[in-house]
Amino acid sequence: MIPLRKNFGAAALVAAAAVLVPGCGEGPNPFRWGAGGTPGCTGVCSEDGGFPWDAGSPADGGSQADAGTESAPVVMTISEARALSDTDSQTRVLLERVVIHTLDRVERRTEGTQEQVRAWFWVVDPARPTQGLWVHKDWTDPPVDFVPQVGQRVDLMGSIQRESAFEQFHGYRTGLARVELRLLGRSVVPADNFVFPGFGDAEGGAARPNPELLGTRVFVPGPLVVTHPSPPAFRFSSGFEVSGGILVSTRYLSGAGAPDGGPGGCEGLPLLLADGGTGVLFPLGLRGVWDTYTHVPCEDEGPGGTCVPDPEGGRVPGTESPDGGPGNRFTHVLHPWSCGWDLGSGWDAGSAGSGG
């Protein structure tokens, strides 16, 4: 068993202020970041240096948490942060010493002379490896030029929010937004969570199995057999179903490459599922990120073939109710990232997650 500290509930934690050690350096921001997101620090620096808002003034060494518009965050575990309700979206939480385990995508732009980065990625708590979380860093979230990489150990401050119902594929997903990051160094990514029989049965997309492992990488041991090469849940995307009712999205394995420049182009995948695909064996099992999936249909096409999203938002295809209702808004699926490691196939397609 993984030892867990004794905690108050999330509501009680919200009411408590976090007490943090004063930071390093002087001035409003003791952390200096290069154009490539490389950290530097002036003054006395340590992993407990804290964020600029809690560094205090040189005169009194006190907290400056009340000097701005943001209140001091509450230190939480990932599971405690997830327990916050939608009404707590303004609560600032601090996740300490988490590790980036998988990148979804990273985008860059230049505003004037300033390099800015927007990114979506997953983190895991190495002290509690069954706790992971989706993170959205926007363009102006500080440091604005921070480039996330797998294996970075960071402190993350932000607000727990649910993605919009109109976000394609990851709508409704719980994650951290309005973030501020502090790079602590690098760390070994925790091994993928080993799961047991009975894990992941999505009932064709109508269920939301195993929410306790959302945001983490999991290992589903083999042998696994493809039971449906093209289930209705992936009617407008790509994926298949394996033994035990586990839905496996191949969205990150299709095409010329993944959105972040990582693995892609699994040329053998169509052959793997040819001729109906059922009965295809994964003797070594499957690995990937366990998280939500939805599809936002188009109500109609706008000018130039653009999609006008259905006002109902995302839903899982194939789960529609007989009376015409949208069905299940989202389900939980496995997202493999590597044609070799994650599919256990031996294909040489790189790696974009933990080495397990």
Per-residue pLDDT tens over the stretch 52-64:
444 433 333 333 3
Distance CA 293, CA 333 (A): 6
Q: What is the arithmetic mean of pLDDT over 87-105?
A: 92
User: Which of 65-69, 106-110, 295-299 is predicted most confidently?
Assistant: 106-110
For residue 244, give every residue at least 6 positions away whose Cβ sits within 8 Å of its Cβ, in sequence order, or none: 197, 198, 199, 200, 201, 224
Start-end of H helices in 221-298: 269-272
Distance CA 295, CA 237 (A): 8
Q: Which long-range contacts (C-beta less than 8 Å, at least 24 apart) are formed by 136-142?
A: 136/163, 136/175, 136/176, 136/177, 136/179, 137/179, 137/181, 138/177, 138/178, 138/179, 139/109, 139/111, 140/116, 141/178, 141/179, 141/180, 141/181, 142/180, 142/181
3-class DSSP string for 213-227: HCCEEEEECCCEEEE
Q: b vs e for 227-266, b when ≥16 Cβ sit within 10 Å of the residue's Cβ?
A: bbbebebbeebbbbbbbbbbbbbbbbbbeeebebebbbbb
pLDDT for 318: 94
pLDDT for 341: 86
Based on its alpha-carbon atoms, the radius of gyration of the chain, rounded to whole angstroms, reads 21
pTM of the full predicted structure?
A: 0.76
The closest of 84, 104, 45 to 261, measured between CA atoms, is 104
Tokens of 123: 């983190």
Task: Classify domain 74-186 by CATH number.
Answer: 2.40.50.140
pLDDT for 271: 64
More confident residue, 50 or 73: 73
Q: Residue 342 — left, alpha, or beta (φ > 0 → left; ψ -120 to 50 → alpha)?
A: alpha
pLDDT for 270: 64
Among 181-195, 219-233, 263-277, 308-322, the minimum mean pLDDT is found in 263-277
Contact present, 125 and 80 (Cβ < 8 Å): no
Q: What is the arithmetic mean of pLDDT over 100-125?
A: 97
Tell me the domain boundaries of the chain: 74-186, 193-343
Q: Is the pLDDT of residue 124 over 60?
A: yes
For residue 6, give every residue at least 6 positions away whose Cβ sits within 8 Å of its Cβ, in sequence order, or none: none
Contact present, 172 and 163 (Cβ < 8 Å): yes
Distance CA 94, CA 214 (A): 19
Per-residue pLDDT tens over the stretch 180-224:
999 999 999 999 999 999 999 999 999 999 999 999 999 999 998
Per DSSP, the residues of 165-227 read TTSTTTTT-EEEEEEEEEEEEE-PPPPPEE--TTTT--GGGT----GGGTTEEEEE-S-EEEE
Pairing assessment for the beta strands 92-111 and 74-75 based on DSSP bridges: parallel
Question: Average model confidence (pLDDT) for the chain?
Answer: 78
pLDDT for 176: 97
Distance CA 22, CA 151 (A): 26
pLDDT for 212: 97
Phi, psi of 134 (to 5 degrees): -80, 140
User: Which of 82-86, 108-112, 342-346 is predicted most confidently?
Assistant: 108-112
User: Which of 18-27, 40-49, 55-64, 124-133 is predicted most confidently?
Assistant: 124-133
Tokens of 136: 């959205």
Q: How would you class 109 by CB atoms within 10 Å of its CB: exposed for 0-12, middle for 13-18, buried for 19 or more? A: exposed
Q: What is the arithmetic mean of pLDDT over 32-52?
A: 37
Q: Is the pLDDT of residue 120 over 80?
A: yes
Q: Is the pLDDT of residue 343 over 80?
A: yes
Phi, psi of 213 (to 5 degrees): -110, 10
Distance CA 211, CA 192 (A): 16
Per-residue pLDDT tens over the stretch 10-34:
444 444 433 333 333 333 332 223 3
User: Which of 204-208, 259-263, 306-310 is predicted most confidently?
Assistant: 204-208
Distance CA 24, CA 163 (A): 34
Other C-beta atoms within 10 Å of 185: how many? 11
Distance CA 175, CA 244 (A): 27
How long is the chain?
356
Among 61-65, 198-202, 250-254, 337-341, the minimum mean pLDDT is found in 61-65
